[in-house]
Amino acid sequence: MSNDTLAALVSQIRYEAEGIISIELRPEPGMADFPAFEAGSHINLFLPNGMVRSYSLYNSAADNNRYVVGILRDKKSRGGSEWVHKQLRVGTRLPISTPRNNFPLHAHAGHSVLVAGGIGITPVLCMFRQLLQQGRSAELIYCARSRQEAAFIEEIETLVEELGGAATFRFDEEEGTPPNLEQLLQGRDISAHFYGCGPAPMLEALEASCARLAYHNVHIERFALVDIAASEDARSCYMVELARSGQTLQINPGDILLERLEGAGIAVECSCREGVCGSCEVAVLEGDIDHRDGVLTKAEKAANNTMMICVSGCKSNRLVLDL
């Protein structure tokens, strides 16, 4: 657990849709206020069963001392969402991380198109609300298998009624087919910014549709990493030097950098272990990184200043990490 951990109290648990609950977190009495956050941010929950899970904040970024996350009961749960749905109770004291934002809004976008699939509505709702509150041009496209599995519909409709903007709901059960994203997105100005969060197949379809429509300002938040193979020049053996602790580690074929660091007693925050949450980001002082994450932008990867140690590797003989 990092030094930035906050002491939170579960103040409310609410049913939002089939398989989805919301968890409201407040500071424990007498503890420090929660830091402010930006739309698109997520926090890590340090669960009593030892699991660490990352969830997006969907409440207003203008809220004071309140974080709210929406959690889907994942049928393939490895112990995180299943535990939350079955065991978490109001009044539970729960350590959480400070907010981290890998999915920020772009301040100068003339128009924003927000596309959500299923539980991907959580960061998208926060972004949509903020854009409308700021008087900016925005629209939401919300896709789900059925209306019963779609959370926050009434809240979205109220936002549009009170603040403007537009919202399109698209449910497979009612339409009889999966959404045709190219059809839903066509006709927008090429200067618009497009944001997508949801299951991998939907995000792949979104990226492909935007490419065919010549939309270049596309921003994606993933729940699971699309498999990124090691570069051809990636090394299977290399040395890692830890600048602060003074330790040196030999990385051998099959080793995962994060696991080697943990085995050496180095405390590093992590959550997804799949290169999508950004929790394990570490500054790189020297060396050539083989990036395999879904968090950093192309420009950030090219800068070679930071890496996600749960999935990424090395293309040089030596890495020097700020640890």
Interval 25-80: pLDDT, tens: 999 998 889 999 999 999 999 999 888 889 999 999 999 999 999 999 988 777 78
Rounded average pLDDT over 93-108:
94
Catalogue the long-range contacts made by 60-63 (C-beta closer than 8 Å, 24 or more residues apart): 60/126, 60/129, 60/130, 60/133, 61/36, 61/37, 61/126, 61/130, 62/133
Closest CA to 139 of 164, 120, 119, 161: 164
Share of the chain above pLDDT 90, in %: 82
- Using CB atoms within 10 Å of the CB of residue 176, give its burial: 0 to 12 exposed, 13 to 18 middle, 19+ buried: exposed
- Pairing outcome for strands 6-17 and 93-96: antiparallel
Mean pLDDT in the chain? 93
Q: What is the pLDDT of residues 108-130, one digit of tens each?
A: 999 999 999 999 999 999 999 99
Question: Mind spelling out the 3-state secondary structure of 280-310?
Answer: CEEEEEECCEECCCCCCCHHHHHHCCEEECC
Task: Kindly report, residue by residue over 194-221, the tens digit of the pLDDT.
Answer: 999 999 899 999 999 999 999 999 999 9
- Cβ–Cβ under 8 Å, residues 98 and 4: yes
CB-CB contact of 45 with 1 (8 Å): no
At 3, the pLDDT band (50, 70, 90 cuts) reads low
Q: Please report the pLDDT score of residue 1 as a whole number.
A: 45
Q: Quick one: tokens of 157?
A: 């409709």
What is the band of 225 on the pLDDT scale with cuts at 50, 70, 90?
low
Write down the residue that tokens 């890496």 correspond to. Answer: 307
Cβ neighbour number for residue 31 with a 10 Å cutoff: 13
User: In this predicted structure, what is the pLDDT of residue 51?
Assistant: 86
- Distance in angstroms (rounded) separating the CA atoms of residues 222 and 119: 11
Residue 106 pLDDT greater than 50, yes or no? yes
- 60 Cβ contact partners less than 8 Å away, ≥ 6 residues apart: 126, 129, 130, 133
Look at the pTM and tell me if it is higher than 0.85.
no
Q: Which long-range contacts (CB under 8 A, 24 or more apart) does 9-16 make?
A: 9/91, 9/92, 9/93, 9/94, 10/88, 10/89, 10/90, 10/91, 10/92, 10/93, 10/94, 11/90, 12/90, 13/88, 13/89, 13/90, 16/70, 16/151, 16/152
103 vs 229, higher pLDDT: 103
Residue 247 contacts residue 321 (beta carbons within 8 Å): no
Contact criterion met (CB below 8 Å) for 105 and 137: no
Under a CB-based contact definition with an 8 Å cutoff, are residues 111 and 154 in contact? no
**Domains of the chain with bracketed CATH:** 6-96 (2.40.30.10), 112-222 (3.40.50.80), 238-321 (3.10.20.30)
Structure confidence at residue 192 (pLDDT): 98
Which amino acid belongs to residue 273?
R
Strand partners, 228: none
